[in-house]
Amino acid sequence: MTSVAALPVPKPRTRAPYENWRPPIIGVSLLAPVGATGLVVPCMPGGTLVLPTGTVEDGQSPEEAAQAVLTGLPDGLPIRRRVAVSQVQMRRRKVITHLVVTAPLAVQEAHSLMYRDVRADVRVLPTEKAVAALPEKSRARVLLGLQALAIGAMVYVRDGEIQRIDSVPTD
């Protein structure tokens, strides 16, 4: 009779921690209020509203990168300050997004703006309507940014955990 050798029992697989073997993606989102009650939002083909976003290139500050997101004003956007920084660990790469706010724009200034994606139509909507129409993650980013702006603080979000930073100089 032939004996069957016992097969080794495989060890349970352990997950290796994520490693950032690629440089982080650094982006900028822009809140451009119009007066006291409006917000500039690009409308993509198909009717989807988005938060104006762009990339931060090497050697560029988030405020400088924000100037390239919406164009059309002769003197550029009146950048007020950065109100939030969000950091998320994706698979093998970190994504860092800065949220920058402009000074309130006049309605005619807002209508002269162009988004970096030429397919988009730039619209001015009441803030409440714009926030309700944005995708969930953008909605949360806008609300967090508006709250940080209102209290004069800066917010740091890391993998969903929110931390307030009070040492941001205000205008």
- Amino acid identity for residue 40 in this structure: V
Identify the structural domains of the chain with CATH numbers, from first to last: 25-164 (3.90.79.10)
Within 8 A by CB and 6+ apart from 19, the residues are 92
**Per-block average pLDDT, block size 10, for the chain (171 residues)?**
62 66 90 94 93 93 94 92 90 90 94 91 94 92 91 87 66 35
Distance CA 133, CA 138 (A): 10
| Residue 45 pLDDT | 92
Supply the pLDDT for residue 125. Answer: 95
Predicted structure pTM score: 0.82
Output the pLDDT for position 70: 93
How many Å apart are CA 16 and CA 91, to the nearest integer? 12
pLDDT at 169: 40
Of 31, 33, 34, the residue nearest 51 (C-alpha): 31
What pLDDT is attached to residue 7?
65
Q: Decide: 44 and 122 in contact? Cβ < 8 Å.
A: no
CB 39 within 8 A of CB 131: yes
What is the 8-class DSSP label of residue 38? E
Taking the C-alpha atoms of residue 113 and residue 37, their distance in angstroms, rounded to an integer, is 18
* C-alpha to C-alpha distance for 53 and 146, rounded to whole angstroms: 16
Query: What is the 3 state secondary structure string of 88-133?
Result: EEECCEEEEEEEEEECCECHHHHHCCEECCCCCEEEEEEHHHHHHH
Q: Are 147 and 164 in contact (CB under 8 A)?
A: no
Report the run of H or E that residue 40 belongs to, with start and end: strand 38-43
- Tell me what pLDDT residue 23 has: 86
Cβ distance 107 to 124 under 8 Å? yes
